[in-house]
């Protein structure tokens, strides 16, 4: 299995989620299962079935998080070329078609959240930007057509 590359913030977010699931959600689901059991016959108890299903989903997510966190390689940016787009960089781009500026933080797939400006390096746009320098124009083919961006700044 390959390493999971995360920023320090991304690692802390996943670790906090795992901690919450183990310490809070497990207890909540255990209480739900207990309440459903008190209602009698489990063979026709929809609440019990729902609680057990929620427990299975919870345990699956906990397992996934534990696996990812066991393979984490934290990207601190110290040994990364600051003049090129790499994971951890914040990139300001100019959309040459619409004459608009956009900004993304380049992150791993696990941290991607486009609503918060976090672009996965495995996405078509993320892959195309990797390794390029400030001032370069990048043409990217995406399912909806072709994008053309000029890299205005790169920061860490």
All structural domains of the chain, each given as residue ranges with its CATH number in brackets, are 4-75 (1.10.287.180), 90-155 (3.10.50.30)
CA separation (Å) from 90 to 26, 32, 97, 111? 37, 44, 21, 14
Mean predicted lDDT score pLDDT of the chain: 90
Tokens read off for 54: 């929620």
72-75 and 4-7 as β-strands: parallel, antiparallel, unpaired?
A: parallel
Q: What is the pLDDT of residues 57-88, one digit of tens each?
A: 999 999 999 999 999 888 765 556 678 998 88
pLDDT at 80: 66
pLDDT at 16: 96
Residue 12 binned pLDDT confidence (cut-offs 50, 70, 90): very high
Q: What is the pLDDT of residues 130-139, one digit of tens each?
A: 999 999 999 9
pLDDT at 95: 95
**Is pLDDT of 46 > 90?**
no
Residue 156 binned pLDDT confidence (cut-offs 50, 70, 90): confident
């Amino acid at each position: 299995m390959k390493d999971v590359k995360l920023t320090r913030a991304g690692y802390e977010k996943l670790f906090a989620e795992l901690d919450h699931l183990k310490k809070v959600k497990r207890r909540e689901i255990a209480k739900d299962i207990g309440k459903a059991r008190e209602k009698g016959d489990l063979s026709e108890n929809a609440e019990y079935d729902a609680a057990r299903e929620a427990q299975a989903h919870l345990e699956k997510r906990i397992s996934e998080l534990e696996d990812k966190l066991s393979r984490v390689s934290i990207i601190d940016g110290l040994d990364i070329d600051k003049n090129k787009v790499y994971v951890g960089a914040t990139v300001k781009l100019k959309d040459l078609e619409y004459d608009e500026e956009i900004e993304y933080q380049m992150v791993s797939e696990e941290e991607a959240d486009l609503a918060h400006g976090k672009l996965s390096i495995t996405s078509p746009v993320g892959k195309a930007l990797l390794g390029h320098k400030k001032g370069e124009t990048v043409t990217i083919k995406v399912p909806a057509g072709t994008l053309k961006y000029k890299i205005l700044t790169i920061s860490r």
